[in-house]
Chains A and B, each alone.
Chain A
Amino acid sequence: MARFHPLKVTDVRRETRDAVVVTLRPRDEDRDLFDFTQGQYLTFRRDFDGEELRRSYSICAGRDEGCLKVGIKRVDGGAFSTWANENLAPGDEIEAMPPMGKFFTPLDGAAARQYLGFAGGSGITPVLSIIKTVLAREPKSQFTLVYSNRQINTIMFREELEDLKNLCLGRLSVIHVLEQEGQEIDLFTGRIDAEKMKGLFTHWLDASAIDTAFICGPEPMMLAIAASLRDHGLKDEQIKFELFASGQKGRAKARAVSKVAVVPGTGVQATVTLDGATRNFEMARDGQTILEAAIAARLDAPYSCKAGVCSTCRCKVLEGEVEMAVNHALEDYEVRAGYVLSCQATPVSARVVVTYDE
């Protein structure tokens, strides 16, 4: 299981009104662990009022910059991103797991490839890392970026992209699409949808020349772009996705525990929700796991190893108390949030309410 390591904050630069770029340095002994590939992300953890929050942010540095940098855009009501934007300062330490993610393709210094990137808002962060690394390590390759934002002053890395364009003349082109600001060319105003993609492919982009396309942004934009790329003949293996899910889980709610006294000699009242359907049944107090009871009640609950190893059967306890015999798969913070391995969990209270849907 991946572990967390401390990173030292060496710089915090304000990029736009609601986004910062944070430069980080691993300890010397962790240097190899944090040797990232372009397009990867870091997962951070921090305690907020006794509850652990984990958030992933993409690395925006190129591989040859010799440092780790992430871009963090403040999300309304987002505890982590607000904290990072308002409180994080050089000298602070923050815990992160080694870089993860597969949003990249292998580079070849001799290749002359055409890349096409689509970024929506802060979705630029991994794409910028890819652009910088491609420009540095594949001198014959070219990159076209279609970058969508609300308005000019929310564009992250606008200047850095301009500088890159000038530095690598003719190898990087950037098309800015702005939702709320009119531009000289109508096509570049509005959202990236099916219609806009059609326009881009008619006048600005040549689908047949593209080797690989990268898409990073919110869900509807990813759908529209992917559908259009496929319509223009790109195969699944040529399209790389990185979803910036709007629904990164909010603050983990504390486990609801009702300590109902156990009356000896009676069964346990169990309520199990799966796929939106809730079933109530009585289960044995001893010798039966939540999973076994759910299956006996004809719920098609997911499971595999039944040994507490694979985590397929994970569910969440909403009410009551259960005990796990073994747990090799869930981390402490998941257990604190109420998750259990149902193949290992037996009820301790007279009533348990669990769900496989959360």
Chain B
Amino acid sequence: MSETMNIEDYLAQGGVLTAPENVPARYRGELLRLMSSFVDSELAASAGFADSINFAPAIRERIAASRITLEKADHAERVLGVMGSFGTDVLRYQASHDWSARLPREADLGTSRAGTDNRLAVFHYPIAGWTDAVVMNVLQGLATGVQMTELTRLSYAPLAEVFREIAPREARHAELGLEGLERIAARTGGRAAAQASVAYWRPRVATTFGVAGSARYDTLRKFGLRHAPNEDLLACWEGLVADRLSAAGL
């Protein structure tokens, strides 16, 4: 049998943790922060999309919006379950914030937190109509796809497994958005409206990747909770957005 080693060295070398009992204190704090940010963002996204169901122009779009609303809540529940294994009171947690609360459309948060929950700033902005909902979903959906390349390989195995289950369904949400966007762009006046929404959402989604040279990134990387820096993920997303928007004729 091999010798044992320091848990920080183990993590720095790509080691995997498997239960709340073998998680160091600082790792625990960062892991819970990461999970709560995901849970709050998914619940806020679901709550925001619930309104979009009634903006939907046809049954097909209505079903797509309903599915996104449902599945984002389901994903939040799965990750909240992992938080529960660390002691989070999951029933109280779900009721502790108003997930549909939004700031005024012209508010400018940058990367800062607002309100009392831990959602990404982009989920504080209100959606204005169907085209706006579709554009937001496409841009944020592509961003989630990029974030998933990190989340599915993070060092806390029970959570990485949940993300690996979630990732294909989140990818499907972005695809549903792209299908909707193509239909919008093909309509008279659709392209101009979509472009206006892209101009609104693009910088706001970009800020979800955080700042370049983030100090917290170093901590997270040491713990195996992150692998690629913010600026790389942002660049990857920008490339994807440029490709997909031009494919959709925007």
Residues on A lying within 8 angstroms of B by beta carbon are: 1, 41, 43, 54, 56, 100-103, 120-121, 148-150, 179, 191-193, 217-224, 226-227, 236-237, 240-243, 245-249, 274-275, 300-307, 309-314, 316, 328-331, 334, 355-358
Contact: B160 with A304, CB < 8 Å? no
> Is B54 on the interface with A (CB-CB < 8 A)?
no
Residues on B lying within 8 angstroms of A by beta carbon are: 1-7, 9-10, 13-19, 21-22, 25-26, 28-30, 32-33, 36-37, 40, 83-89, 92-93, 96-97, 116-118, 152-153, 157-158, 160-161, 164, 215-216, 219
How long is the Cα–Cα vector from A93 to B88 in the complex, in angstroms? 29
Contact: B15 with A222, CB < 8 Å? yes
The residues of A that contact B18 with a CB separation of less than 8 Å are: 101-103, 241-243
Contact: B22 with A243, CB < 8 Å? yes
Contact: B32 with A310, CB < 8 Å? yes
Contact: B157 with A302, CB < 8 Å? no
Known: A312-B29, A355-B25. 7 other contacts (CB 8 A): A102-B157, A121-B1, A243-B16, A245-B17, A275-B26, A305-B117, A311-B88
Query: In chain A, what residue has the closest Cβ to B97?
Result: A305
Task: Tell me the smallest distance from the CB of B158 to a CB of chain A, in Å.
Answer: 5
How long is the Cα–Cα vector from A243 to B4 in the complex, in angstroms? 11
Contact: B33 with A245, CB < 8 Å? no
Contact: A218 with B1, CB < 8 Å? yes
Q: Tell me which of B1, B4, B152 has the highest count of chain A C-beta atoms within 10 A of its own C-beta.
A: B1
Contact: A305 with B87, CB < 8 Å? no
The residues of B that contact A245 with a CB separation of less than 8 Å are: 7, 17, 21-22
Query: In chain B, what residue has the closest Cβ to A154?
Result: B1
Q: 6 A-B residue contacts at CB 8 Å?
A: A148-B1, A148-B2, A302-B29, A304-B40, A309-B96, A329-B89
Contact: B5 with A219, CB < 8 Å? yes
Contact: A331 with B157, CB < 8 Å? no
Contact: A220 with B88, CB < 8 Å? no
Contact: A223 with B92, CB < 8 Å? no
Contact: A100 with B3, CB < 8 Å? no
Contact: A309 with B21, CB < 8 Å? no
Query: In chain A, what residue has the closest Cβ to B9?
Result: A219
With beta carbons under 8 angstroms apart, the residue of B15, B30, B92 that contacts A309 is B92
With beta carbons under 8 angstroms apart, the residue of B83, B87, B93, B97 that contacts A1 is B87
The residues of B that contact A223 with a CB separation of less than 8 Å are: 10, 13-15
Contact: B87 with A311, CB < 8 Å? yes
Task: Tell me the smallest distance from the CB of A8 to a CB of chain B, in Å.
Answer: 24
Contact: A300 with B160, CB < 8 Å? no
Query: In chain B, what residue has the closest Cβ to A301?
Result: B29
The residues of B that contact A242 with a CB separation of less than 8 Å are: 18-19
How long is the Cα–Cα vector from A193 to B2 in the complex, in angstroms? 8
The 8 closest A-B pairs by CB, nearest first: A246-B4, A302-B29, A304-B36, A245-B22, A312-B32, A219-B10, A328-B89, A121-B1
Contact: A312 with B33, CB < 8 Å? yes
Known interface pairs A300-B215, A312-B36, A314-B28; A101-B16 also in contact (CB < 8 Å):
no
Task: Tell me the smallest distance from the CB of B145 to a CB of chain A, in Å.
Answer: 17
Query: In chain A, what residue has the closest Cβ to B20?
Result: A100
Task: Tell me the smallest distance from the CB of B25 to a CB of chain A, in Å.
Answer: 5
Q: Tell me which of A219, A313, A355 has the highest count of chain B C-beta atoms within 10 A of its own C-beta.
A: A219
The residues of B that contact A101 with a CB separation of less than 8 Å are: 18-19
Contact: B25 with A356, CB < 8 Å? yes
With beta carbons under 8 angstroms apart, the residue of A224, A311, A355 that contacts B32 is A311
How long is the Cα–Cα vector from A275 to B215 in the complex, in angstroms? 12
Contact: A56 with B219, CB < 8 Å? no
Task: Tell me the smallest distance from the CB of B44 to a CB of chain A, in Å.
Answer: 13
Task: Tell me the smallest distance from the CB of A100 to a CB of chain B, in Å.
Answer: 7
How long is the Cα–Cα vector from A331 to B88 in the complex, in angstroms? 11
Query: In chain A, what residue has the closest Cβ to B32?
Result: A312
Contact: A309 with B1, CB < 8 Å? no
Contact: A192 with B2, CB < 8 Å? yes
Task: Tell me the smallest distance from the CB of A272 to a CB of chain B, in Å.
Answer: 13
With beta carbons under 8 angstroms apart, the residue of B2, B21, B33, B40 that contacts A120 is B2
Known interface pairs A310-B32, A329-B88, A356-B26; A102-B158 also in contact (CB < 8 Å):
yes
Task: Tell me the smallest distance from the CB of B152 to a CB of chain A, in Å.
Answer: 7
